């Protein structure tokens, strides 16, 4: 099961049985109502760095039907700012490996993120894709406050063991 499937399963568990309209946060269309909006773990920290987190959470709230749910995976790196690690463990998916490299700001509140994807080729490992971005570190308190400020209720943080996702997952109901 891939990351988005896990988030969709969490949304389904909250919404109950039946068919549900689920969209990714960046695919939200103003005026189109859905049952669930999902966001993978690199998105909200990136939007926070771009100073657009509050606006996108309000847009997500407005796009949800009453009782609809936002499901967002958000790594909690606020305690790592002092340590400034350079990378998490690589992620291996068959013949593909994804490596992240982190470049921390001096204050530990943000970091640059370089993502390199390698694939096994005939002659060995080859770079298949790279991406660069900056993220702001979001604490659990900041996430809770941002979701409530956007109008969500019944905000809950699920630990990885509760959700089946590798980082904490926030569930917030409209």
Domains of the chain, by residue range, sit at 3-76+138-173, 91-135
Give residue 163's Cα distance to chain centre. Answer: 13
The number of residues making up the chain comes to 174
The tens digit of pLDDT for each residue in 142-159 reads 999 999 999 999 999 999
Share of the chain above pLDDT 90, in %: 77
**Check: CATH 3.30.1490.190 for 3-76+138-173?**
no
If you average pLDDT over residues 126-131, what whole number do you get? 95
Q: What is the pLDDT of residue 62?
A: 96
The tens digit of pLDDT for each residue in 36-75 reads 999 998 899 999 999 999 999 999 999 999 999 999 999 9
Q: What is the pLDDT of residue 152?
A: 97
Contact in structure between 130 and 143 (CB atoms under 8 Å): no
Q: Give the confidence band of 81 by pLDDT, cuts at 50, 70, 90.
A: low
């Amino acid at each position: 099961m891939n990351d988005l499937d896990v988030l969709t399963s969490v949304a389904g568990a909250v919404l109950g049985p039946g068919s549900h309209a689920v969209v990714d946060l960046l695919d939200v269309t103003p005026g189109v109502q859905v049952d669930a909006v999902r966001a993978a773990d690199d998105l909200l920290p990136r939007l926070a760095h771009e100073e657009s987190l509050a606006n996108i959470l309000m847009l997500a709230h407005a796009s949800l039907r009453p009782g609809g749910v936002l499901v967002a995976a958000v790594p909690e790196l606020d305690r790592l700012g002092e340590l400034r690690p350079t990378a998490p463990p690589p992620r291996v998916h068959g013949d593909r490996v994804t490596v992240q490299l982190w470049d921390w700001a001096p204050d530990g509140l943000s970091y640059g993120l370089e993502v390199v994807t390698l694939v096994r080729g005939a002659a060995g490992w080859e770079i298949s894709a790279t991406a660069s971005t900056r993220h702001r570190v979001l604490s659990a308190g900041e996430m809770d406050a941002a979701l409530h400020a956007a109008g969500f209720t019944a905000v809950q943080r699920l630990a990885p063991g509760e959700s089946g996702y590798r980082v904490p997952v926030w569930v917030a109901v409209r």
